Amino acid sequence: METLLVINAHPTVDSEKSVSLQVLGRFLQEYRKVNPDGPIDRIDLYRDYVPGIDATFLSAWDKRRNGEPQNEDELRISERMSEIMRQFKRANKYVIAMPVHNFNIPSKLKDYMDNIIIPKETYHYTEKGSAGLLTDGRSLLVIQASDAVYTNNDWYTEVEYSHKYLKSIFNFLGVMDYRIIRAQGKYSFGREAQLAKAYQEAEMAAAALAGKPAEAKRTNAPAG
């Protein structure tokens, strides 16, 4: 049975005011309705330990690659990296819930990505460059909350690096089924309208990720 991994990238992990977490909650509610037996795993990036790239991280990586003994701090990082990778690869479907921070992904989400973009694990080198290894039909849903609107083909659209980065990286790893729910425009439309639209999209996305073909066509979002 396919596992869904929830990647919570909101700094206030349990915030009841967070738009992205409210939309995530609606998605999970609907997903459980249509797929009650499907296993769901979770990582909270601002609560759980996620190593960031620093001197110890790089030292641990070099020693692990070269088969050299590691000190206590390096072992802690290596073991945690392995745990994160096992959890990530065990899943077949992913949902990332996040706010937009200065046009980009939250910093802990970048740390998480650095733990899963690993050669021989999620991609490999070839004679023609690099190629993803996750080519077994995995899916990703991004729930992205922002006060501004990023789909008007204006300056905001140009600098929406969060969506561009995630789509490009997951496609690189081999995850081609990429969907995004933009809970956007609180200042333009108001919070209730923002949530109402996103809830509707979340319900359709839940049916799609649960494997209902009729709903899947409706929920594919444009690249933007």
Cα–Cα dist 1/106, whole Å = 31
- Mean pLDDT, rounded, for 123-150: 95
- Determine if the pTM surpasses 0.75: yes
164-192 pLDDT, tens digit per residue, is: 999 999 999 999 999 999 999 887 888 88
Using the predicted structure, report yes or no on whether residue 222 has a pLDDT greater than 90.
no
Give, to the nearest 10 degrees, the angle between helix 107-116 and helix 72-90: 80
9-65 pLDDT, tens digit per residue, is: 999 999 988 999 999 999 999 999 999 999 999 999 999 999 999 999 999 999 988
Using the predicted structure, report yes or no on whether residue 217 has a pLDDT greater than 80.
no
Q: How confident is the model at residue 212 (pLDDT cuts 50, 70, 90)?
A: low
- What number of other Cβ atoms are within 10 A of residue 56's Cβ? 16
